[in-house]
Amino acid sequence: MLTKAPRGTYDILPEESRRWQYLENIIKEAAELYGYREIRTPIFEHTELFERGVGDSTDIVSKEMYTFTDKADRSLTLRPEGTACCVRALIEHNLYNGVLPVKWFYFGPMFRYDRPQKGRYRQFHQFGVEAFGSRSPYLDAEVIMLLVEILARTGLKEYDLHLNSVGCPICRESYRQELIKYIVPHQERLCNDCKVRYQNNPLRVLDCKQPECQKSIEGHPTLFDYLCPDCHEHYAQVKNYLQENQISFQHDDKLVRGLDYYTNTAFEVHIPGIGAQSAIGGGGRYDGLVEACGGPKLPGIGFAMGMERILLALEQAGINPSLVQNQIVFVVAMNEQYLSPAVKLVKQLRDAGISAEMDYNARSARAQMKHADKLNASLVVLLGEDEIEGGFVTIRNMSNKEQHQVGLAQAVEFINTLLASC
């Protein structure tokens, strides 16, 4: 128990961490290119924020939250997603009064009490963007283009971008009535949650994860057929801008987001072949959310992608992203009494921006050379009796085994030049 991470969580070990850093860098660069700036919000928030901001009829809120009471009896929740947190920060800092749109991106762990499986964890990581303050369909297209830009930069080519419009509260009302009528004869076959929620919230049945619910309402009318002219026009424009910019997508009228504050554009990216959890990201417009969370009437749009799933997709596509490893210089003190000058040299190398290592136990020269090999050191610097007495160092190039003797005072500069040719 003590020696195992909690179910649904895992360690990112240093080798793996490099892949994460590489991916995070790519994403960050793309987001900044598109004018999005990083926001970091707390890992936990007041539970009520998610009840309102995600919706208390959703699985996330009703079943999957890590909620706890703190010592002052407040109900707090580890964030299950990032949008509500950004909305809260936007309202708290009155940023809706400044330059609009406000464009943010975030990275970070999210927590959901989900059933762990490949690509699904209880602590997982998302990258997300949110843009507040513009209803323009150009912004919808921009957000989707950023998502596509990120995928292109990772090297992933095989993915499907699904696009739909979920309308606005006005056009959704007439659809709601029709959908309820359609569901009534099939209600017995719905899951227990949907049996209860379909009367009030029939759209939630459409995005219920239970396969039996989807099966029992197969052939249902689609929201798309009920869009009002304004919503149709918005959708047509988004599609048009995407086409003009050579972004491929497929219209998918089964793609729904069952909450009232989701409006117009909805999209999802799937990677075929990464298993049951094929969605790597999704998002959409939420023009009613800021108001629902206690802020002004301010439109918004965003998306979130699962970092684990992108890494999984990259692995399966045979793409092995990794930061180029720093070149390492290993300093060998041939004897315990040379430890102190060796430490000094390591410090000088590090001060010059060169990654340097040594063995503080001054084991045998052979053991230290093995250590250097294991670390994949580019150069080894030897400090023995001759070197100390003569005021020089011996530098061995580990790839071609050439050796150089250089005065101690010139050592750092020489090593720097040598590394450039390694």
List residues near ligand AMP by CB under 6 A: 81, 112, 114, 119-121, 124, 126, 279-282, 304-306, 308-309
Q: How far is CA 92 from CA 12, 54, 97, 239, 296, in A?
A: 33, 18, 11, 34, 11
Give least dist CB 349 to ligand AMP, A. Answer: 41
Q: How many CB atoms lie within 10 A of CB 402?
A: 10
Query: Quick one: 103 or 162, whose CB is closer to ligand AMP?
Result: 162
Provide, rounded to whole angstroms, the least separation between the CB of residue 282 and ligand AMP: 4
Which amino acid belongs to residue 405? Q
Nearest to 293 by CA among 75, 57, 86: 86
Pick the closer one to ligand AMP by CB: 280 or 415: 280
Q: Smallest distance from the beta carbon of 121 to ligand AMP, in angstroms? A: 4
Indicate the residue whose CB is closest to ligand AMP: 306
Please state, in angstroms and rounded to a whole number, the distance separating the CA atoms of residues 335 and 323: 35
Q: Kindly tell me which of 163 and 382 has the beta carbon lying closer to ligand AMP.
A: 163
- 284, 360, 396, 408 from 238: Cα distances, Å: 12, 62, 61, 65
SS (H, E, C) 305-347: EEHHHHHHHHHHCCCCCCCCCCCEEEEEECCHHHHHHHHHHHH
Q: How far is the CB of 20 from ligand AMP (least distance, A)?
A: 14
Nearest distance from C-beta of residue 166 to ligand AMP, angstroms: 14
CB of 81 to ligand AMP, least distance (A): 5
Residues 90, 290: Cα–Cα separation, whole Å: 9
Sequence-separated (6 or more) residues with CB below 8 Å from residue 96? 90, 102, 132, 133, 290, 295, 296, 298
Of the two residues 119 and 299, which places its CB atom closer to ligand AMP in the complex?
119
By beta-carbon proximity to ligand AMP, the closer residue of 81 and 287 is 81
Q: Which is closer to ligand AMP, CB of 114 or CB of 252? A: 114
Nearer to ligand AMP, 304 or 380 (CB): 304
Minimum Å gap between C-beta 79 and ligand AMP is 11
Q: Which is nearer to ligand AMP, 88 or 309 (CB)?
A: 309
In the complex with ligand AMP, which residue's Cβ is closer, 137 or 282? 282
* Bond into 101 cis (ω within 30): yes
Minimum distance from residue 14 beta carbon to ligand AMP (Å):
22
CA dist., res. 387 & res. 383, Å (int): 6
Give min distance, CB of 406 to ligand AMP, in A.
52
**Residue nearer to ligand AMP on the CB measure, 19 or 112:** 112
CB of 112 to ligand AMP, least distance (A): 5
- Quick check: 256 and 266 in contact, CB under 8 A? yes
Shortest approach of ligand AMP to residue 125 CB, angstroms? 8
Q: Which is nearer to ligand AMP, 282 or 295 (CB)?
A: 282
